[in-house]
């Protein structure tokens, strides 16, 4: 063991690489997120930390729902693109040619191809530090059991294994 910077220490938290999607009318934005975790089992709930300036936050505040799509290890390009462009000036879904399908429990469509989709209704929002913690109750899920997750580790998008 050795002393380390706070940034190096925080970089050892293993995070999933995911997309959060929200759709208001015809406007559908998907944004890369890593600060995601389950925080309750009954009801099943997740939290996502979003910076207050994220466009996707504006959209999900209006609709009260979002899809959390956990990415698979070969979906690095999607994570990079959706994490470096804003829905304010880029239609990320069109730019990447992402395929969508109707969700089971909410109006926001889900990704056709990823590790897992969690369909969520917003049940809370808390300002904390420079981010807003959004709490979502998971109403439905689907998975691809054959795939491994894409991760965010040491401040980088990282493949499983």
Helix (H) or strand (E) holding 117: strand 116-128
| 88-110 CB burial, b ≥16 within 10 A, e <16 | eebebbeeeebebeebeebebbb
Query: Which of residues 16, 21, 28, 34 is near ligand FMN by CB under 6 A?
Result: 34
3-state SS of 15-37 is EECEEEEEEECCEEEEEEECCEE
Q: Which is nearer to ligand FMN, 35 or 139 (CB)?
A: 35
Query: Which of residues 51, 77, 104, 107 is near ligand FMN by CB under 6 A?
Result: 51
x/- mask, ligand FMN, residues 85-114, rule CB under 6 A, reads xxxx--------------------------
Stretch that binds ligand FMN, among 67-75, 81-89, 102-110, 117-125 (CB under 6 A): 81-89
Q: Which residues bind ligand FMN (CB under 6 A)?
A: 17, 29, 31-35, 49-51, 54-56, 79-80, 83-88, 152, 157
């Amino acid at each position: 063991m050795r002393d380390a910077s706070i940034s190096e220490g925080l970089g050892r938290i293993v995070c999933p690489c995911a997309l959060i999607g929200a759709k208001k009318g015809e406007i559908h934005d998907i944004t890369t997120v890593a600060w995601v975790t389950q925080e309750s089992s009954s009801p099943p709930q997740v939290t996502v930390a979003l910076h207050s300036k994220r466009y996707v936050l504006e959209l999900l505040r209006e609709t009260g729902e979002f899809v959390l799509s956990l990415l698979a290890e070969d979906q690095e390009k999607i994570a990079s693109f959706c994490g470096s462009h804003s829905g304010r000036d880029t239609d990320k879904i069109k730019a990447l040619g992402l395929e969508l399908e109707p969700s089971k429990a909410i109006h926001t469509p889900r990704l056709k191809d990823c590790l897992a989709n969690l369909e969520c209704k917003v049940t809370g929002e808390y300002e904390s530090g420079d981010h807003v913690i959004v709490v979502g109750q998971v109403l439905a899920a689907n998975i691809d059991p054959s795939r491994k997750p894409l991760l965010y580790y040491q401040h980088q998008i990282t493949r499983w294994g």
